[in-house]
Structure 1
Amino acid sequence: MFDYLIVGAGFSGAVLAERIANELNKKVIIVDKRNHIGGNAYDYYNEYGILVHKYGPHWFHTNEKKVFDYLSQFTEWRYHYHIVKTYVDGSLLPIPINMDTINELYGMNLTSPKEVQAYFDSVKLDIKVPQNSEESVLSQVGEDLYNKFFKNYTLKQWEIHPKDLAASVTARIPTRVNRDNRYFTDKYQCMPKHGYTAMFNNILNNPNISILLNTDYKNIINEIPYKTMIYTGAIDSFFDYKFGKLPYRTLRFEHETLEKTFVQPVQQINYPNDYDFTRIVEWKHATGQQSNMTTITREFSELATDSSEKYYPIPREDNQRLFEKYRDEADKLESVIFCGRLADYKYYNMDQVVARALMIFDKKIKA
């Protein structure tokens, strides 16, 4: 008899399993249909010894000391700022848009945050309450920067025009009035020193935790006795799509290893207007590995199918209404706890997933 059956071995499932096993001394079994733990954060060493993230880049950043301290129990860190450049008009320019971006793109000589803000004020559109992603960007940086940096990138990422996407999609993209070229400004920015998979192994290293991989929970649900389920998978799948399927974006990756120390000046370069991939990542910039070989990964965004991985919930009002039907059904179940990006049909950063799992443990499980 297990006290908890947890569906999914990603951040939500692993954190809740660890808390239940260590703090409550109860028995947990985790079931995952993949052949590994770690969910989308899973990483591995490829045939050339380069540490690669299988499901796309995961750059850890947070302002939450509680989350950082919690994960620090299970990993050492390599402190690292995430630096991104964008290929626009034949040049690699800083993103988020900052003082250097404006100066390099337009041949200007802005020297103070006040001058940069004055420039933004002179070009941005007067939209008090943006109603969609297009208006969100236009209200911050105006039409030219929107067209060069955001419009086509968003179209590639979502295959939906920005004016048909929720304002929240681009509202989380920052702009700067100084020369700060870090993509994030969070207090804690780092990578697990030995990789995410090693960190997950430490999180789940408890005799109270059993793990069953390569298994669809629906195939064993009647064979394993348990008291409570924690479900971190897709909520529409749990209810056998009774109201219809929630749409997602998926990602496809092309990996290439080259006999060079580095091929990019930074770990990520975005391509909003050229090619059909959205970005190229070079892993060694972030991991700090020393090698005369380097691996790069091109990332393509596509509409998810039944057989593909689900990455990004598509933030549109009709999708939210459909999700709410499933959430109402979930609220009726007393013996199932729903948690995570797929279960909540909501995009979370890694630290947000961890914070939510810790909150659910404190308020719903421990209590």
Structure 2
Amino acid sequence: MPTLSPQNTALIVGAGFAGSVTARELAEAGHRVRVIDKRPHIAGNAYDERDAYGVLVHRYGPHIFHTNGERIFQWLSRFTEWRPYEHRVRGVVDGRPYPFPINRDTLNQLYGLDLDEAGAAAFFERVREPREPVRTSEDVVLNSVGRDLYEKFFLNYTRKQWGLEPSELKAGVAARIPVRTNTDDRYFTDAFQAMPLHGYTRMFEAMLDHPNITVELGVDFDDVRHRIERDHTVYTGPIDAYFGYRFGHLPYRSLRFEHEYLPDVAQYQETGTINYPNDHAYTRITEFKHLTGQQHTGTSIVREYPQAEGDPYYPVPREENEALFKRYEALARTEPDVTFVGRLAQYRYYNMDQVVGAALVAARTLIDTLR
């Protein structure tokens, strides 16, 4: 069990959601917390800032907050006001944008139909290719919407995003995307959907603003791991890196971001994000003013290019990767003075709210050891 005690020092590796949430909880429980991050800023991949033209942009691609967890939403609300925002996406097929996730309007516009809700349900039932058991992302989509919609909206997008065939990915990847018989064109249907009113970075600044927390940026854990005295480590980086890649590298998917400012363009596209499953090397374009509600004479967009090399963003959900992670997880259990939490440390395709939830649980576990 961890050996943290009141007034002892915890080293938090990473100033993103996992590290910052844990840091705040420990600090409020009376512990001294030292947060380090190898990047020159806090907030991890959720980092946002004004670009050279004054537009608030997300440096590492769009981060849309949504959750069904009221406790998580209320916890974050201590550090930010919110701007209500419901994200909408279009998928471009043969040069035309359609509502995505697929809904009744998608079917009617794509096939020239006039289906009601029952008609849309009947359409999906007619075209679907039943799969039993459902093991892969290909199984999920074919079982739900059939081959034509699979090939138009999912197949090539998945190839670009993951560098793999849908048949090579676990079912959970595609299962994240719903299919609807109504006309709801929101990307998410969670009870709480909002953006931090003044941005994510401002929210993280408030979260880390506590007399028991010190933050040091531009510090690589590998350079200081044997020099910093602490009673417990909370590690949020890649778990395989922590153990020196003892069993080999866990596969992660990375991204390259191409930011562009468009002067004198009030609005570049009709929704926050447009997916390009079949065209271009990039997967999608996001226009930030949709997300932030900012008023500006110009607009800033970002194109996302998935790639194999670079900073790790997405654990690659395959059975063999999960098996390799389990070997590292077993090693982690032999480190009683280290807590591993977050998307990279737990090798989980977490949403932001799930990372917050995992961090709150991890912090509570540490604090409870004092009792």
Q: Please give the per-residue CA displacement for 1:67-121, whole angstroms capped at 9, x wherever unaligned.
A: 000000000000010000010122110001001000000000012x211111100
The aligned counterpart of 2:119 is 115
1:100 matched to 2:102: no
Secondary structure of 1:342's counterpart equals coil
- 2-side partners of 1:319 and 1:359: how far apart? 25
Unaligned runs of 5+ in 2: 1-6
Q: Is the 8 A contact 1:2 1:225 kept in 2?
A: no
The aligned counterpart of 1:315 is 317
The aligned counterpart of 1:187 is 191
Equivalent of 2:25, from 16, 19, 32? 19
Scaled by the length of structure 1, what TM-score is found? 0.97
Secondary structure of 1:251's counterpart equals strand
Unaligned runs of 5+ in 1: none
The aligned counterpart of 1:353 is 355
Secondary structure of 2:231's counterpart equals strand
Task: Quote how far apart the aligned CAs of 1:2 are.
Answer: 5.0
Task: Quote how far apart the aligned CAs of 1:222 are.
Answer: 3.1
1:6 matched to 2:12: yes
- The 5 Å alignment of 1:210-359 reads 210-259=214-263, 260-304=265-309, 308-359=310-361
**More displaced, 120-129 or 268-277?**
120-129
Task: Quote how far apart the aligned CAs of 1:129 are.
Answer: 2.1
- 1-side partners of 2:356 and 2:136: how far apart? 29
**More displaced, 208-217 or 355-364?**
355-364
- 2-side partners of 1:291 and 1:239: how far apart? 47
Task: Quote how far apart the aligned CAs of 1:364 are.
Answer: 3.6
The aligned counterpart of 1:59 is 64
Task: Quote how far apart the aligned CAs of 1:136 are.
Answer: 0.8
Give the residue type in structure 2 aligned to 1:52. V
- 1-side partners of 2:157 and 2:268: how far apart? 22
Give the residue type in structure 1 aligned to 2:248. G
Q: Sequence identity, in percent?
A: 50
Give the residue type in structure 1 aligned to 2:40. N
Equivalent of 2:130, from 120, 126, 131? 126
Task: Quote how far apart the aligned CAs of 1:135 are.
Answer: 1.1
**CA RMSD of superposed structures (Å):** 1.0
- 2-side partners of 1:265 and 1:139: how far apart? 31
- The number of aligned residues is 362
The aligned counterpart of 2:4 is none
